[in-house]
Amino acid sequence: MESTLRFFDEFLESEYRSTAGIFSKDVSDDECRMLTDRTKSFLHSSVKYQHERSGAEFDADMAEFSEMNRANAVKRQVFLVKERQNPTYGDALRRVTTGDRVYELCCSYHMKARRGVGYSVAFFVSETNEGLKIVYLRRFLSGKWSEMHGYAPMQIIDAGRVVECRKLQAPEDPESLALYDSE
């Protein structure tokens, strides 16, 4: 679990830097592309993760919004880590994973929240044919975890039996805290 936590902390630091870079006028398009490519390198190549500059961030009508996003970018907080054994993957995801373990890391949003900090995304990390990678994401909506997409071959059908559950810090948001306390 320790090596997975180190890997994931490197991802979170990279994601924070690239998020801030996307909205910073001081970062060139080439530098921004390098930052986002570094962030995406932590994800398996089959995982789609929309995290890049669109090209409109500095248009006159978007400048204020972009500055607000740059100022509000934060490194995600990890609340909970679950080591799971014998997950069941969709057909396509099964072909790229190589181990019998998956790590679920329940995290906050990557922007400052107006309300208490709570769950936003669960990242799933596993050994793959490309090495240790993020292989799947779930989002937290209306008090429960939801699939990011409906394409079953790339989903985790059953995350598997929890071998270890490590609580790192409690979320503030009441819905998130209730779920966290029930783990």
Q: What angle do CA 93, 165, 127 make, to 5 degrees?
A: 30
User: Which range of residues forms the domain containing residue 75?
Assistant: 2-182
Please count the structural domains in the chain: 1
Residues 6+ apart with CB under 8 A from 99: 126, 127
Do 73 and 110 contact (CB within 8 A), yes or no? yes
Mean pLDDT of each 10-residue bin along the chain, 183 residues long: 96 95 91 95 90 79 83 94 97 94 96 86 97 96 87 92 97 94 92
3-state helix, strand, coil in the chain (%, to 5): 35, 30, 35
Residues 6+ apart with CB under 8 A from 86: 100, 160, 161
Q: What is the pLDDT of residue 68?
A: 86
pTM: 0.93
Q: Euclidean distance between the first and final Cα of the chain, in Å?
A: 18
pLDDT, tens digit (0-9, with 9 covering 90-100), for 88-118: 999 999 999 998 999 999 999 998 877 789 9
Residue 139 to residue 32: CA distance in whole angstroms: 25
Residue 40 to residue 133: CA distance in whole angstroms: 10
